[in-house]
Structure 1
Amino acid sequence: MPMTMALSGKSLLEARANLRRMIANGQVFLENLPQSLKAASPNGAATWFFLAAATAIGGLVAGHYVFRLITRWGRDHFRALYDENEQRRSGKLAYLLARAGWMLLSAGVMFVTAILVAVIFDSGHEPSRATIFVIVSTYVVYRILRGVVFWNFFAPTSSAHRLVNLSDAQAQSLFRHWAAALAVGAIIIGLCRWVQILGANGAEAGTAMAQINDDAHRLAFIVGLFVCAALLALLAIIHRRELKAIILGPGEVKEKPGWLRTIAFTALPLILLYLALAWFVSSVRLTLGLPGGYIPVLAPIIVFVVAIFAYAVAAYLIEVIYERRAAAHERRELARLEAERRAWERTQASREMMSELSEETQEVLEEGAEMTMMHSVSAPDSQIRPYFPAFKRFFENCVAATILVVSAGELSRLWGVDIGRDGGHPLASALDILLVAIIAASAYRAVNGYIDHRIVEEGGTLDDEPFNPGEGDSEGGKGQSRLATLLPIARNVFVSFILAAAAMVGLASLGVDIGPLFAGAGVVGIAIGFGAQTLIRDIFSGAFFLIDDAFRKGEYIEIDNVKGVVEKISMRSFQLRHHLGAVHTVPFGEIHQLTNYSRDWVMMKLPLRLTYDTDVEKVRKLVKKLGQQLLDDEVVGSLFLQPLKSQGVYSMEDSAMIVRVKFMTRPGDQFVTRKVVYAAIRDLFHKEGIRFAHREVTVRLADGTKASELTEEQKEAIAGSVRSAIEEPGKDGRDSGKSAAAAL
């Protein structure tokens, strides 16, 4: 019967009348207890009870001895599982589960041993058998709860394997108090069960004595459950600080989420309220003679034991799986480091072989590789990238949420609340929505965490990070990898799918027919497609551009008259950050031609203004030698794809001979290497006596005109013309050497 029916006004009045009768019949039962014991005896004496109790105690003593032998044998043979410095969660769970399983097996052997002793001394008396079974089963259940559950949950003697946030003193105190409360509760429940059995054998059904016995055992359960509820409430009050510590876990309280702090703060009043309400409901149900009246008070312990065991097993399996994945990741990283080391050694050996060849042979090899990219091998990495279990927390949250929802449902069922789906009970819908919300939130965090980790692992930047143009000029640097570019878009797709799926499941849990919603969504999608053709064009154009790998995040591109670094990509457009700071938003559908300046490699050509008396061949050899030295440089050597070399005389000007040098790097590395190359050439030419030519402008005056005859205004005009000629930029990023003539 549901709880609401048991708590109706008419039922409460009936319960009050029944309670008065039960109290009176309880007194009668106590007065007639000696006669009831004699009536249950085969020979008319009450000694059968003491013989049955002695047989049960003897069997338990024998079973306890066997229990100790088995546990001692297991402690000696499974000592390898114990590590006083254990840090791994899987190691802690493995030890606790193994110990709990072994103690459970030992308790089962103890029960079997005690029953065998009872069978050996069996007298064929049914009340004696029932009494022995009550004593043995009650004690074994007490040992299971004490040793298998709470001994491993609090771990008072195994601080290294304790999973709850308790000190040694707190764990020992909690275990002692719980053990005492369990002992008292076991004695009370055992007596109540024995009173029930004695009453069932003391009178025939339907008689007045049967009614007295039934009222007596139900009254005994009411009193016994009151004592149990009071003990549990007293434990909660005494250990309220430990209760908060267990809920909050290790760490600072201020750093914990608000919902967890709220649960820790309200746990004690909720527990007290639950115990009071559970005892009241149990008393009413027992008074009305409804079945399972003692369950509400004991239900939390039953659900807790099953839930904690299920979660421990699931958490252990998750830990083992991810530890194996971490070990496999470490093996792959070691293999990668070994491959990089071997590639580095091969590259170094090749460079040494090249240096031993003649200069003519080196020139031939370099000319043969002129138009191909000499991929430089970076120095081997000495660190193993840490393993990132992105979805571990997701699976743990899913398991915890499932166990929580199932436990809440089972607790409701034990209370007598029917939450079957046929009736569409609100509690069932609320539990389903709670489960979906937790799983969706966990999936959202897991997907975001995994995508952020992969973006960073690929060398990319997150969308919420401030833009950093890096070192360089208007042509930007190297872009991010293709995966780092596509992952933010994939994030949007996955998050949208998670939210949509969670919303659909939540609506279905509320009883909403989601079939018409899908049909309506299709119609709305068609209408949007016809009404927003530009939007659809932008989305599809962007998809094809990304599939073609036309650009990536961080690359410097040019579209018509707009250029800049790709800073952010969305479903229909992307943003370009100009080198002066302006941000351009470009829809994908507006792209007709795209130029990418950051793909694969960059060829840098640097003009050098030298005097006409410079030995060009000497310059070529010096530049070649310098290029080899830069390749061996520990800082910038790995940045060169092709070494620095001279292209000879590029052009002849009035005041200088232009010699151009070139080298190849990856996009973004040219700015660092350019500074190093310029500085090295300056120092080298200064050492070798090679002079740079200064820019000169010749001003020719008209025939017969002398400079001394010019006015100040004319001199300023000539100076302005000369300055314009000097500062006018020429091609290839260099200043022109135009001459200016003023004819007066």
Structure 2
Amino acid sequence: MILLGTLTDACGATGQRGWICQAAYELTGSEDFAKVAETVSTPIRLVLVLVVAAITAWVVRRLVARSLRHARDNDRISSFRIQGDIPQLSDLELQRREGRFSTLTVALQNIASVIIWVVAGFVFLDQLGYEIQSVLVAISAISVVIGIGAQQIIKDFFGGLFILMEDQFGVGDVIEAGNASGKVESISLRVTRLRDVEGVVWWIPNGTIAEVGNRSKEWSRALLDVEFDPTVDPGSAISVLEGVGAEIMTDPEWSSRITADPEVWGVQKMNADSIQVRLVVKTIPLEQWAVARELRARIDVAARAAAVPLAGQPITGPVGEGNPISPHRASRPSAPEGEAGNR
């Protein structure tokens, strides 16, 4: 009975006494030593909480980076999976994957670190003797106030996270997002930066992107609705376009940008002014505009040579002596047209 009373005096009542104080008292039988051990144990526990939290955060960050790297290298998650029928990765695709991987890794690492340190903070306060329930109530009230003021930032953050995880678009892609369109120059968790064809930079908060069109995802398509003179036989018009499609596939400079044989889909529209015939060509990403320009130039030459005039083009005979029309090639600009929404 005397021993129990002394233990209570040294370490407090049952259910409140620390295990270090009780172990020290049972080991030495000294009330003073038990009190000193309990006093010293508090800062030791606090330091231990911080050390464990720091080590856990470091380990988790390494595991997140390693897991995502492994998933990327082994093509196991949709965020990094290469889709489509392009036979090999281009420099642009490699850049997109690396940028997406880096941003997503940092985001998940930061989320994991915040969770770990929040939990460590609660344990830290508990070791100091604070009532956790009271602390949670106060934090909840503060969180509500902060959440109301920062709800758009939170929305932007999760919007950016899903953009990266779902691989909706990446750096170098040409996209349309609302009223803005252009080439993606950078993506963060909060904002996406575009540059249009006139050089204007658009900053778009990720949380405001309700829908987005990607003009360079996996593959692209050059679509030409060619208008011929209304007197032209549709079969002759189709033959001209088929010939141009076959011709461009024999040119190594252009066939390397085309992933499938050009297709003539036929007559799209007929009226008193023209006959419209559609030609479509599947290309590698971002090359559809350059291919379309080259096709327009070749169609013009082929139509004149075959005496199958385009709408508004004077009817002439085949190219040759006495005919001033001569074949030409389209100029090849250094950068693809349409990077910011040109059709």
| TM-score with structure 1 setting the length | 0.26
The answer to which structure, 1 or 2, has the higher relative contact order (CA under 8 A, 6+ apart) is 2
Structure with the larger strand share? 2
TM-score (norm 2): 0.49
Q: Which has the larger radius of gyration?
A: 1
Bigger helix share: 1
